[in-house]
Amino acid sequence: MTDAPIAARRSTLRTHHGDTFDDPYEWLRDKESTEVIAHLESENEYTQQELAHLSELRETLFHEIKGRVQETDLSVPTRRGDWWYYSRSEEGAQYGIHCRTAAVADDWTPPVLEPGVPVPGEVVLLDGNVKAEGHEFFSLGAFDTSDDATLLLWSTDFEGDELYTVHVRDLRTGEVLADEIPDTGSAFFTPDGTGIVYTTRDDAWRPDTLWLHRLGTPLADDVRLFHEPDEKFWLGAGITRSRRYLVIAVGSSITSEEHLVDLAGDLTAPPRVVWPRREGVEYSLDHAVVDGEDRLYILHNDGALDFELVAVDASDPQGERRVVVPHEPGRRLLGMDAFRDFATVEYRSEGLERVGLLDYATDAIEDVTFDEPLYSAGVSGNPEWHSPFLRLGYTSFVTPATVYELDLSTRELVLRKQVAVLGGYDPQDYDQRRAWATASDGTLVPISLVWRRSFGEPGDTPRPVHLYGYGSYEHSIDPGFSVARLSELDRGMVFAVAHVRGGGEMGRQWYEDGKLLQKRNTFTDFVACAEQLVADGVTAPSLLVAEGGSAGGLLMGAITNLAPELFAGVLAAVPFVDALTTILDPSLPLTVIEWDEWGDPLHDPDVYEYMKSYTPYENIGDGSTYPRILAVTSLNDSRVAYVEPAKWVAALRAAGARDVLLKCEMVAGHGGVSGRYNSWKERAFELAWILDTVGLA
């Protein structure tokens, strides 16, 4: 048995606004150092040693997850042009296989494909398993076919750093063209199929430039279509469903600006701005043709906290705005998709996602309704400008991922597919509900609960609870099904989500109240949810495990400092636990664009003081009072560097934490390992630790 790795302490002074912090573990940031790599490997070896007693449980959990998945399966085909596109998986294969088969001209009903049964006329476009051969990590980025269906574009990442290399294949001959473009972000074909539009990043990993590459020409001749110099703004691009405009979108966390290029003209012509950027104003658009007139439908928050939808003349977008869906406090408009004859509006009300159909003639919205009290629903996979069906994705904590199509002539919801869960899964064996906690300022914070009925109602007797949280970027943790979660529920665990401020579950104000100089609300809300579950008899501190990842990992570090006695264990995935150090350094990837979310501590002493008061790494208390901690990270993570949890773990041990572990994937990125079997094994590893922590191992 080896002892826990002890990182050497080496003074690194950081001075800002008259405050000096001596960081003893900053030397771990040198990713090229053999000493740093050796330290990370020793952490992995120690974690493996300390959790060796769970090896059998991990194997059991992996086989439970695997046993519930229909390994050979297919997606519901999506029509684009004269083809049905779909992906399929095969038993024993890590990655998906992307295919197509010819469509009958007027038949919009997707063919029913049976798992394991050969598809007539199938054309394999890309087999991820073949592309991944010889690589420990594989991620498929862009995937596009030209409008005439003769060319395929795809991009690959073999490191996990989210820098992709674009490739092109001629589907008529099978030839891979010489047009290979490295270090890209997004990429797609021009409508005429003669070029590729793609983004590249700056040294801070920010997508900042949009390029046009003409097939068959040298990369050196690529045309720069747009460059965003402001380091607070990222860039993205796409083509409207109408195929009329190239939309170039730039945005920060709180401000956006969109530009149009009319594809009926010269793609390299200077784009025209729709609405000039104004600090704090966000908007997004889509294009429609109504009564022969080109319209832009713009979703915005200019004087409308929860957003409103307006229509403008596409030739004069800064002219008169006609309100289509007015602002309604508490109804957060999320998105709008324009089709030939109607549009969809997605919004959030009472904490749930909803979908409505917008009538162009009357501006009336007709809601698509579902029966469950907690669910997630959204528009999904509708590339065609005109179709008699609207495809929707649906799920809940107890309902597996489901694909519906709404028959637009009858308004009937047609079930196209529900993901099979093997092993006799019956949704009636499980239940879900919402509870509420009262925050320290009196705010009611929602908690979602899901459990197996045979163990009784939560609150009958204290039970193990797995409490998840995030609470940043207005990102909502919506109801969703998880095969892996069944292994917890079937052992008596209650799974819960704390919908804390900083997320978007309860509207835009919910987000505003959990960011910048109100960020502490995110942490105290989570503690309040944990305390409420204990007070209601749902659980006890010795039975409560918390989990969060990325910005949710910051939440985990903060609640560990705030209320260590309230939790038996804390699982922090790719955790943003050294937030102040990162946000102070504009040379680090993605730092400057984060200032709208966290504040700018480099130039604002109040932000510096506030962040220093909560950032987990700098606020560790008496480690002997801390719960068990497992931190999981990846060496090639370009969003939250491995050094943050590595420093945090070192500092926790130095403070006397008795059971703190670090697991670092040496070839992976922010999303962890690649491949479905590897992902299942990774989740089995984490679940075994959770179950062991609450005595269910």
Q: What angle do CA 507, 571, 463 make, to 5 degrees?
A: 85
Q: Which residues contact 594 (CB under 8 A, 6 or more apart)?
A: 253, 582, 583
- Please state the separation of Cα 341 from the chain's center in Å: 31
The answer to whether the CB of 360 falls within 8 A of the CB of 343 is yes
Dist CA 91 CA 66 (whole Å): 10
Q: Which member of 39, 213, 499, 670 is catalytic? A: 670
Is 670 assigned a catalytic role? yes
Residue type, 366: E
Q: Which member of 476, 550, 634, 674 is catalytic? A: 550
The answer to whether the CB of 623 falls within 8 A of the CB of 658 is yes
The answer to whether the CB of 443 falls within 8 A of the CB of 534 is no
DSSP 384: -
Dist CA 657 CA 621 (whole Å): 10
Dist CA 259 CA 633 (whole Å): 37
Q: Which member of 73, 155, 637, 674 is catalytic? A: 637
User: Phi/psi class of residue 242: alpha, beta or left (left: φ > 0; alpha: ψ in -120 to 50)?
Assistant: alpha
Number of residues assigned to the chain: 697
Bridge-based pairing state of the strands 123-127 and 256-262: unpaired
The answer to whether the CB of 577 falls within 8 A of the CB of 559 is no
Report which of 366, 368, 486 is spatially closest to residue 425, judged by C-alpha positions.
486
CA distances from 204 to 201, 595, 608 (A): 8, 14, 21
Q: Which residues contact 608 (CB under 8 A, 6 or more apart)?
A: 16, 17, 19, 580, 584, 601, 602
Measured in degrees and rounded to the nearest 5, phi and psi for residue 48 equal -60, -40
Dist CA 98 CA 116 (whole Å): 15
Cβ atoms within 10 Å of 55's Cβ, excluding its own: 12
Dist CA 31 CA 635 (whole Å): 8
Strand partners, 200: 209
Q: Six-digit token pair at 13?
A: 């002074």
User: Phi/psi class of residue 138: alpha, beta or left (left: φ > 0; alpha: ψ in -120 to 50)?
Assistant: beta
Q: Six-digit token pair at 603?
A: 């130039």
The answer to whether the CB of 194 falls within 8 A of the CB of 669 is no
C-alpha gyration radius of the chain: 26
C-alpha dihedral sign at 340, 331, 348, 404 = negative
Report which of 694, 632, 689, 625 is spatially closest to residue 657, judged by C-alpha positions.
625
Dist CA 535 CA 200 (whole Å): 51
Q: Catalytic positions, please?
A: 550, 637, 670
